[in-house]
Amino acid sequence: MPMDLCLGGKATYDIPSNLPCRRTTVGAVDWHRGAEMLQAAGGRLLTLWGADDRDRDGRFRIYAAFLVKEGVAVFEHEMESQSKPTYPSLAEIFPCALHMERAVHDLLGIASMEPDHRGWLRHGGWPQTVFPLRRDFDGSQQFPIDSQPYAFVQVEGDGVHEIAVGPVHAGTIEPGHFRFSVVGEKVLRLEERLGYTHKGVAKRFEGMQQKEGHRLAARLSGDSAVAFSWAYCAALEAITHTTCPPRAANLRALALEHERLANHLGDLGALGNDAGFAFGLTQFSRMKEDLLRVNASAFGARYLFDFVEPGGVVVDLPENASRSLLDHYLVLEEGVSSLCAIYDNHPGLQDRFRDAGVLNQELAEKLGAIGLAGRASGVSIDLRVDYPYPPYDRLNPKLVIQSTGDVGARVQVRFDEIFESLRLCRMLLEDSASGPIRTDCPFGVPGRLGLGLIEAWRGPVVIAIESGPDGSIRRCHAHDPSWQNWPLLEYAILGNIVPDFPLINKSFNLSYSGHDG
């Protein structure tokens, strides 16, 4: 039912994508009502973005993509007013929409009917009357900083005080601000303020050619470079009816699983360290470094920023690389197994992991949790499992899931996903698919919208491209699952003590750059 929606018999159209994907044009009433219907049928909000089409037909548009049982449903809503474009908010149906709507307002001046219009991406770097994603705005313009105080929600009561953390954090991590309201050590409320690393990526895309956009996509969040560049290429290939050769698809998946392995290894070490077990950091960072060096010899780079390109991949594995990769997987698997046993049997570590930062399933479902953090709270979504795009259609990936939703569950999901990723990597190497590693990817016909969705280590990343004339990009929207999962942290921390925040935060390990764009 959801894919056809039956919204007063409105027509739906296929959208080029690597997943089954349909688009419906809806009015303001159906925008809201349709979202309610999808939510009731178990749908989830994937992403929300706007576009300025005044040069084409005098309209602003807002798009929402939902993950439903059959695939992806995209709503497109046109706003008639050019001077005060507004649309009904989805935040009461999908709470995670709130930040996305505030970001759309900052960039395009399209306001949802939700009262919270505090700047999310705009901190004073450009005037309130300027909307950078509008077509009549020259992206190269710069403005003096005019920072205004941000109205955090205040908690009042006997002994309540605030702790402000960031944007510069005490560690080698990205910038963001956390405002804690605490009594003693106990957290009563956490409010996040993000947007510090906003670099104008969406505007930057507009000046680029389709065949070079994957490089920028890869740098949206460096730890998910393969996923973002693959999602970009998947969208572009769908628009241009290009089929990625099977060998290239295998290599993309191999690179994506290596990215997952490297990040999980890094996180497991850091989680041990944040719980006072430095041995864990030493061991896991050693294994991560070993994997990066294997990457360097197999793929030609430690981090695979420019490995995936439109039409395929840049290089094939060198001769005999399969053998050495398989040997490495054995060593890695043995190492991770033994560390898993050490973690499991360490009472001090388990004491910190268990019941810390609990996000129960009911709340996780309600907030729209997605990806790794969602799976640790019993939310069973994994694009590789649910909508297996090539080459996962031949690999039968297993869903890794936990139900307790605490730090321990997020640790366990990482351990189990490492073992599952290693299994997938072995299958990919044993697959005898040979042949070309790339094919020509022509220019997309102007005005076509395409979606690419890839399950990154953190969760599903989405890229929506609208092609422009002569191989240009008219609009490109990139979405990191951190948009959905940052608000989870505000709930998971409640009732915990401030000193546990680094551990709980690390167990989510969300992207600032991927979120801020």
Spell out the residues 6+ positions from residue 40 whose beta carbon is closer than 8 angstroms to its own.
Answer: none
Question: Which residue bears the tokens 């628009």?
Answer: 239
Part in contact with other proteins (CB under 8 A); list of ranges 169-177, 180-188, 372-380, 471-479: 169-177
Backbone dihedral region for residue 248 (phi beyond 0: left; psi -120 to 50: alpha; all else: beta):
alpha
Distance CA 380, CA 342 (A): 28
Least distance CB 280 / other proteins (angstroms): 9
For residue 56 the two structure tokens come to 């084409």
User: 185, 459 in Cβ contact below 8 A?
Assistant: no
Strands 111-112 and 12-14 come out as: unpaired
- 199 near other proteins, rule: CB under 8 A: yes
Total count of residues recorded for the chain: 517
Q: Does 198 bind other proteins (CB under 8 A)?
A: yes
Tell the smallest beta-carbon distance from residue 238 to other proteins (Å): 24
20, 27, 95, 200: residue in contact with other proteins (rule CB under 8 A): 200
Among residues 148, 243, 338, 380, which is the contact residue for other proteins, using CB under 8 A?
338
Q: By CB under 8 A, is residue 201 in contact with other proteins? A: yes
- 229 contacts other proteins (rule: CB under 8 A): no
The site that binds other proteins (CB under 8 A) totals a number of residues, namely 62
> Which of these segments, 2-10, 201-209, 309-317, 412-420, binds other proteins (CB under 8 A)?
201-209
Q: Please identify, using beta-carbon distances, which residue of 376 and 478 lies nearer to other proteins.
A: 478
Distance set, CA 499 to CA 64, 178, 195, 385, 502 (Å): 38, 14, 25, 37, 7
Binding flags for other proteins, 295-314, as an x/- string (CB under 8 A): -------xx-x---------
Among 215, 394, 398, 448, binds other proteins (CB under 8 A): 215
Q: Which one of residues 25, 285, 322, 350 is an interface residue with other proteins (CB under 8 A)?
A: 285
Q: Name the percent of the chain in helix, strand, coil, to the closest 5.
A: 40, 20, 40
* Beta carbon of residue 455, minimum distance to other proteins (angstroms, whole number): 19
Of the residues 66, 75, 87, 126, which one makes contact with other proteins according to CB under 8 A: 126
Nearer to other proteins, 262 or 381 (CB): 262
For β-strands 86-87 and 111-112, DSSP reports them as parallel
Site for other proteins contains 419 (CB under 8 A): no
- How many other β-carbons are positioned within 10 Å of the β-carbon of residue 235? 34
Determine, following the binding rule CB under 8 A, whether residue 142 of this chain makes contact with other proteins: yes
Judging by beta carbons within 10 Å of its beta carbon (0-12, 13-18, 19+), is residue 285 exposed, middle or buried?
A: middle
| Cβ–Cβ < 8 Å for 215, 478 | no
Residues that bind other proteins (CB under 8 A): 121, 123-126, 130, 132, 137, 139-143, 145, 147, 167-168, 170-175, 195-201, 203-204, 215-216, 219-223, 225, 266, 279, 282-283, 285-286, 288-289, 292, 302-303, 305, 338-339, 341-342, 345-346, 511-513, 516
